[in-house]
Amino acid sequence: MFNLPITEPMHIHSLDGELREATILEKIGDNRYVAEFDGLRCSAIFNPFVGRFYVDDKYGIIKDKTPGRDEPCR
């Protein structure tokens, strides 16, 4: 549906839905995407009714690696 990566204004969760430039990096499921905003990799969805992506940089942050057995979970 989309040619990735996509860089355009998207609704940002931590900014109460304010539009800011972000990049969709990959599709990971039905209407589930990985986005990059402000140096963070986050989950995102596409709202077809308004034609915009919504980036969750509050609760949808994607960590680079999983903690090892002896590392604390944070």
pLDDT by residue, tens only, the chain of 74 residues = 679 999 999 999 999 999 999 999 999 999 999 999 999 999 999 999 999 999 999 999 998 766 666 666 65
Beta partners for 19?
11
Q: Where are the alpha helices (DSSP H) in 1-74?
A: none
Would you state the pLDDT for residue 2?
Answer: 78
Q: Which residue has the tokens 């986005």?
A: 35
Would you state the pLDDT for residue 72?
Answer: 66
Q: Count CB-CB contacts under 10 A for residue 49.
A: 5
Please state the pTM of the whole predicted model.
0.82
Q: Which residue has the tokens 């604390």?
A: 72
Q: Are 20 and 4 in contact (CB under 8 A)?
A: no
Would you state the pLDDT for residue 22?
Answer: 98
